[in-house]
A = this chain, B = another copy of it.
Amino acid sequence: MNSSKYVYQFKEGSASMKELLGGKGANLAEMTRIGLPVPPGFTITTEGCNYYFDRGRKLSEELKAEIFKNLKQLEGITGKKFGDKENPLLVSVRSGAVISMPGMMDTILNLGLNDTTLHGIVKGTGNARFSWDCYRRFIQMFGNIVMKIDHYKFENIIEGIKEKRGVKYDIELTTEDLKEIVELYKGLFKQETKQEFPHDPREQLLMAIKAVFDSWNNQRARVYRKLQNIPDDLGTAVNVQAMVFGNMGDDSGTGVGFTRNPSTGEKEVYGEFLINAQGEDVVAGIRTPLPIKELENKMPEIYKQFVEVCSLLESHYKDMQDIEFTIEKGKLYLLQTRTGKRTAAAAVKIAVDMVEEGLINKEEAVLRVEPKQVEQLLHRQIDPDTRFDVLTKGLPASPGAASGMVIFDADEAEKLGEEGQKVILVRPETTPDDIHGIIPAQGILTSRGGMTSHAAVVARGMGKPCVCGCEEIKINLEADKFIVGDTVVNKGDIITIDGATGNVILGEVEMIDPVLSGEFQQLLEWADEIRQLGVRANADTPEDAVKARDFGAEGIGLCRTEHMFMSQERLPIVQEMILAETKEEREKALKKLLPLQQGDFEGILKAMEGYPVTIRLLDPPLHEFLPNIEELLVEITKLKITGENKEELKNKQRLYKKVKNLAEFNPMLGHRGCRLGIVYPEIYVMQARAIFQATANLVKQGVDVKPEIMIPLVGHKKELEILRELVVETAEAIMADTQTRFDFKVGTMIEIPRACVTADEIAEAADFFSFGTNDLTQTTFGFSRDDAEGKFLHHYISKKILSENPFAVLDTKGVGSLIDTAVKLARAIKGYLKIGICGEHGGDPTSIEFCHNIGLDYVSCSPYRVPIARLAAAHSAIKSKNKK
């Protein structure tokens, strides 16, 4: 490339020259190249920008000459002349960096206007008011953008004139008013800049170009580049384009259009237009635009041409386009085309249709749909066309929306739920004691607790909407009401919660149901063909397992046995087990739990026939199953003072002592996970027995089951060795008892930094690894999620210390480095070790890409996120293939 060429006519460029011409310039060139009617213009390149800075922010004489040479060409093409009083050429000047960036200079329209050329425009448009308004706007834009005169100073002048005239809207100003404003603007310009407003259009142009270049190095752009790691020497291009006007009479107009319906994806031109108008008029909302189809009646030729353009653009760009156009005196001009934004449903339909039309292949179709976007297709949601007022906002703990009457008590929620009423359970926080109230509720709202609080975890597991940690809500349980600011919400009032946004809304809001369209199913099948990562689901019940299978899960990656402990009829037995003074007492309670657990496992294993089911043995600290210690203390204090019911007092005191004894300073780092199995092997033995008895029963029925027993929170190989032996012995005993043979695996969750750095040792005792990235993120950062999300994480994100919540998007630099170390260490010992991830990150597209790149075998996520994970896994596979 000739390094001394800094200016290109649109017709000289193409889409492939994006680095030189910037995004906008390359796009305008491309449309010109393929023969679309684009108002002519030229681009000053990004190299020109660097040249400008290299010369100390000066436009060299050579560069100026090149610009004017191209301006001359533009005059030739348009038949108009810059600065001419009869038929003046007006241009727009726009910045156009390679990567679009906040802080860069805005558009300047109508450049070339002055007291002389104005008259040419008045003549050409036949509209003096419009022409003067153009002039006013140009001075304002130029003064503000190029000369940095504060915007409000221009607005003050307009406001002054409106006041004088006694009018309210700009549109009510007359031509004379506008003339007066132009004069006042010129005065302001001189006062602020100590120079006259430049009447020479060439001077205007050079000043505007310099301003674009300078905006590349303003504070905001520099900070943005630093944050985004964009090199400072990319530079920005400048686009200079002939103006066209859609308001030159009834044979003119302006509009926007989509090549397909961006809402549904239907293959039809879509959009709206206005006759004799400019783009601003559409925005101002004074005239109502017409649907694009009516153009067929008003200007049949133009409509035909427009449809052809749409078709051409689609076949050229191979994607749905969002087009801006202007009709000037019966001639169609395209001002912009870009890939059109669309709803998730439209994205899916368009992608699948385009494959069928032969425009794109399956991989391209899969890449066209963002995994994050399809989440909206998977939950009941608030109708996007509905308007509502948000009462307050909490943490978006479990997606989906729900309406129902506010109920503060789990027993009452259960009762009403059984009666078929829709209720939203509202609690300061929930505990296992509330589970019977959560099951029948439409959704959960809590004022305390983070994204892993009991309410959040249980709700996500059930696919039930939940907003938690909504601290603005002051709950008064005694008065059966909550207050937000001045608003009082009483028991029985209807509210709506949106677990995807955290919104809490008064009253009922229109909802729409999730639809897994045929196209979506098709797209996911293609994704399945492409992806290398397996996709499993986290599910704790047979119902969830069925749901997961329906959504395409190829197994259960995490079945949390503790959730089976939390149902109302089981909790007393669990508490009996925990409070047992002796091993014998404990075993007695465990014996009662055994058949219940066995039933759970039979259901899940059967539902997932043919697929592996990873069952995690008991993980949480035992005191999570016990009554709240503060409530106990209050009861004891009351009983002491009243002196009534000495027996009750003694019982409560005994219970308090035990609960206190089991309480921990940092339960997250306390006596939980495999540490329970080490100290109370009888608990793990009971669970293993329940799993294997279920397995044996199913094997006898001819069901193909693949149980995988997962030991949680292992940090040392000996923990796994000891517990593995326990599990294997139990399995062998049951095979002998039941005269059956079955396969099973024993593996571990990797969720402790020590497990990562000693993964080579641990791998020796494991058939599989599953990264528990929730806990691994907590321990690697030293963040307690429940505390961090309530207390300081928002500071960290708002101060940009962290760019994302590491509990939602995997921290690849820190946590990821430990995961990578673990995979490498383990695979060096056992190349065939199956490795997956079952933390919440398993359903997050960015994190899934990381999992793909480091060679994991599968991801596991909540059933509702399985389609997202399938799609994201396919994206990752395509991206890494394309990189090679």
Contact = CB atoms under 8 A, between A and B. Distances in A.
A124 interface: no
A706 interface: no
Contact of A782 (B665, B754, B814, B821): B754
Contacts of A757: 780, 813-814, 817-818, 821
A667 B666 contact: yes
A775 interface: yes
A791 B670 contact: yes
A637 interface: yes
A27 interface: no
B781 A715 contact: yes
Most chain B CB neighbours (cut-off 10 Å) among A722, A758, A782: A782
Interface stretch (A354-362, A374-382, A795-803, A840-848): A795-803
Interface string A750-768: 0111100110010000000
Nearest to A621: B787
Contacts of A349: none
Contacts of A782: 669, 713, 715, 751-754, 775, 779
Contacts of A716: 801-802, 814
B671 A668 contact: no
A755 to B, nearest CB: 9
A719 B670 contact: no
A821 B820 CA distance: 14
A664 B679 CA distance: 27
Interface in A635-674: 637-638, 641-642, 664-671
Closest 8 CB pairs of A and B: A666-B784, A669-B784, A754-B814, A670-B787, A753-B753, A637-B637, A752-B782, A671-B791
Contacts of A801: 678, 716, 718-719, 722
A733 interface: no
Contacts of A666: 666-669, 784, 786-787
25 contacts: A633-B634, A633-B637, A634-B637, A637-B638, A638-B641, A665-B784, A666-B784, A669-B779, A669-B788, A670-B787, A671-B787, A678-B792, A678-B799, A679-B795, A715-B780, A716-B814, A718-B800, A718-B801, A753-B753, A753-B780, A757-B780, A757-B813, A757-B818, A758-B814, A758-B817
Residue from the set A630, A638, A791 with the largest chain B CB neighbour count within 10 Å: A791
Nearest to A449: B665
A322 interface: no
A209 B784 CA distance: 62
B781 A670 contact: no
A752 B780 contact: yes
A811 interface: yes
Interface in A423-459: none
A788 B778 CA distance: 18
A682 to B, nearest CB: 14
Contacts of A675: 791-792
A270 interface: no
A108 interface: no
A85 B755 CA distance: 69
Interface in A726-752: 751-752
Nearest to A801: B718
A815 interface: yes
Given A664-B787, A669-B778, A670-B787, 13 more contacts: A638-B641, A641-B641, A665-B667, A666-B669, A668-B669, A670-B791, A671-B787, A678-B792, A678-B796, A713-B782, A718-B801, A722-B799, A751-B782
Interface in A696-735: 713, 715-716, 718-719, 722
Interface in A591-635: 629-630, 633-634
A669 B633 contact: no
A674 to B, nearest CB: 10
A783 interface: yes
A477 to B, nearest CB: 15
A511 to B, nearest CB: 34
A6 B326 CA distance: 107
Given A801-B678, A815-B754, A784 B664 contact: yes
A651 B796 CA distance: 33
Nearest to A671: B791
A801 B782 CA distance: 24
Interface string A804-832: 00000001011101100100000000000
A802 B761 CA distance: 14
Contacts of A642: 641
A581 to B, nearest CB: 15
A818 to B, nearest CB: 6
Nearest to A665: B786
Nearest to A719: B801
A545 to B, nearest CB: 29
A166 to B, nearest CB: 47
Contact of A783 (B669, B678, B795, B811): B669
B670 A788 contact: yes
A675 to B, nearest CB: 5
Nearest to A629: B630
Contacts of A817: 757-758
Residue picked from A638, A670, A817, most chain B C-beta under 10 Å: A670
B781 A752 contact: yes
Contacts of A634: 633, 637
Contacts of A780: 715, 752-754, 757, 779
Most buried by B among A718, A761, A800, A801: A801
A801 B715 CA distance: 10
A821 B782 CA distance: 18
Contacts of A715: 780-783, 814
Interface string A83-120: 00000000000000000000000000000000000000
Contacts of A670: 784, 787-788, 791
Contacts of A637: 633-634, 637-638, 641
A514 to B, nearest CB: 34
Nearest to A813: B758
A124 B780 CA distance: 77
A44 B605 CA distance: 63
A754 B781 contact: yes
Nearest to A794: B679
A407 B547 CA distance: 63
A814 B716 CA distance: 9
A821 B780 CA distance: 14
Contacts of A679: 791-792, 795
Contacts of A788: 669-671
A801 B642 CA distance: 50
Contacts of A814: 715-716, 753-754, 757-758
A234 to B, nearest CB: 25
A667 B783 CA distance: 9
Contact of A633 (B633, B668, B802): B633
Contact of A678 (B641, B722, B781, B795): B795
Contacts of A641: 637-638, 641-642
A650 to B, nearest CB: 16
Interface in A28-85: none
A772 to B, nearest CB: 11
Nearest to A678: B795
Contacts of A778: 669
A217 to B, nearest CB: 23
